[in-house]
Amino acid sequence: MKKIAITGPESTGKSTLAAHLAAHFQAPWVPEYARAYIEKLDRPYAASDLDEILKGQLALWQKAEDAQPHLLFLDTEALVMKIWAEHAYGQASDFILQELKKQEIDLYLLLDVDLPWEPDPQREHPHLRDYFYQWYKRELQEMGAPFVEISGKHDSRFQSAVQAVEQLLAK
CB 29 within 8 A of CB 19: yes
Measured CA to CA, the distance from residue 157 to residue 159 in angstroms comes to: 6
Measured CA to CA, the distance from residue 53 to residue 37 in angstroms comes to: 7
* Identity of the amino acid at 4: I
Number of domains in the chain: 1
- 65: domain CATH number is 3.40.50.300
Measured CA to CA, the distance from residue 77 to residue 61 in angstroms comes to: 9
- CB neighbours of residue 139 within 10 Å: 19
Q: Give the confidence band of 124 by pLDDT, cuts at 50, 70, 90.
A: low
Q: What whole-number percentage of the chain has pLDDT above 90?
A: 78
- Of 58-62, 95-99, 122-126, 151-155, which gets the smallest average pLDDT? 122-126
CB-side neighbour CA atoms (13 Å) of 42: 0
**How far from the centroid of its chain's Cα atoms is residue 80's Cα?**
6
pLDDT of residue 155 exceeding 70, the answer is yes
Pairing between strand 107-111 and 71-74? unpaired
* Identity of the amino acid at 5: A
Q: pTM here? A: 0.93
Range of the domain at 93: 2-170
78-89 and 94-102 are packed helices; what angle lies between their axes, rounded to 10 degrees? Answer: 150
Q: Which residues contact 134 (CB under 8 A, 6 or more apart)?
A: none
